[in-house]
Chains A and B, each alone.
Chain A
Amino acid sequence: MATEAAGAEHAKEGGLVFHPMDQFIVKPLFGDGPVGLFTITNVTLWMALTILCVIALLVLGTSSKSTIPGRVQSVAELVYGFIRKMVEDVAGKDALPFFPYILTLFLFILFSNFLGLLPMAFTTTSHIAVTAVMAVLVFLTVTIVGFVKNGAGFLSLFWVSSAPLPLRPILALIEVISYFVRPVSHSIRLAGNMMAGHAVIKVFAAFAPLILLSGIGVLVTPLSILAITAIYALEVLVAFIQAYVFTILTCVYLKDALHPHH
C-alpha cells in the first residue's frame, strides 16, 4: 500500500521513533540504489523463502511415501486433503482441474503470511501489488473459463431468472458492478488485513520502550507487552483465516464460472 513513504524522518519530526508503516518499505538488499525492475529487494528475498518453504514441505512430504506418515508427510497430506475437499465441496467435481492452481495459491499465501510473522521479517502479502496480481489472475481465469465453458450463456450469471421480470435489469446492473469489484475486494481484503495487523503490533511495540522512560512506564510497559503477545496470537489466526478466505472465494468464483445458472 502507501508504503514507500518517508522512513527515518519521523523521529526528527518528534513522532514515533518506530513508525508503524516503516516495516513495509521496499528496499534493495545490496547497496542503496533505486529500486528498479530487476533489483533484488527484501520482497524478492522473502518471496523466494516462501517458495522454498512450500517446495520443502511438498518435496519432503512426498519423498518417503510411507504407509504410516511421518510428521512432514502428515502435514502435506492434511493440506492436500483440506484444499481438495474445499474445491470439491464449494466448486463441484468439475472444478478439480483447477485444484493445482488453488493449492498453489493457498500454500503461497499461507506461507508468506506465516513467514511475515517472524520478527524482522517482511510480509509480502501486505503489499497490494502482490495480492492484486493474484486477484486479477483469478478474475481473468474465472472470466475466461466461464466464457470458454458456457459461451454467451455465461452472461446469464448477471440475469437473475428467479427474480420478477421488472426487477431483473436493476439486479443485472448490481450483479455486473459486483462482478467487477471482485478483484478489488479480493486483493484489498488480504493486503489490508495483513498490513493492519502488522501495523497494530508495531504501534504497541513502539509504546513499550517510549513509555518505559517516562514515570508510569513500570506499570504500562508490561501491559503493552501482554497486548503485543495477545495481538500476535490473533495474527497467527488471521494469517491462516485470510489464506483460507482467499482460496475459498476463488472456489466460489470458479463455481460461478462453471455453473452460471442461478
Chain B
Amino acid sequence: MEGDIAQMGQFIGAGLASVGMGGAAIGVGNVVGNFLSGALRNPSAAGGQTATMFIGIAFAEALGIFSFLVALLLMFAV
C-alpha cells in the first residue's frame, strides 16, 4: 500500500462522480423509450419528430457528460 489520503479521496471522488453517468443513461433511455412508444401508436407522425428526440437526447446526455468531466478532472487535473 502506498500513496496518500489525498490521492485516495481523489479516486473515490472520481468513482462517485461517474455514478452521475448512470443517471444520464436512464434519462436517454427514457427519452428514446417514450419516443418509440409514441411512434408506434402513430407512426405517420413519428418521422417529423426524430429531430426533437435527438435534441432531447442531447440535453439529457449533456449532464452525464458533465459528471464524466468532473471524474476526469479529478483523475488527471487535480
Binding site for B on A (CB under 8 A): 1-2, 5, 21, 86, 89-90, 185, 188-189, 192-193, 195-196, 241, 244-245, 248-249, 252
Contacts and interface: CB of A to CB of B under 8 A. Distances in A.
Contacts of B54: 241, 244-245, 248
B76 A193 contact: no
Interface string B12-50: 000000000000000000000000000000000000100
A97 to B, nearest CB: 21
A196 to B, nearest CB: 6
Contact of B51 (A192, A196, A248): A248
A188 B58 contact: no
B68 A196 contact: yes
Contact of B73 (A2, A21, A90, A196): A2
A80 B68 CA distance: 34
Given A2-B76, A21-B76, A89-B51, A192 B68 contact: yes
Interface residues on B, range: 10 to 19
A229 to B, nearest CB: 22
B55 A252 contact: yes
Contacts of A192: 65-66, 68-69
Given A188-B66, A193-B65, A249 B58 contact: yes
A249 B62 CA distance: 12
Nearest to B64: A192
Contacts of A89: 48, 51
A238 to B, nearest CB: 10
Contacts of A196: 65, 68
26 contacts: A1-B72, A2-B72, A2-B76, A2-B77, A5-B76, A21-B76, A89-B48, A89-B51, A90-B51, A185-B66, A188-B62, A188-B65, A188-B66, A189-B58, A192-B69, A193-B61, A193-B65, A196-B65, A244-B54, A245-B54, A245-B55, A248-B51, A248-B54, A248-B58, A249-B55, A252-B55
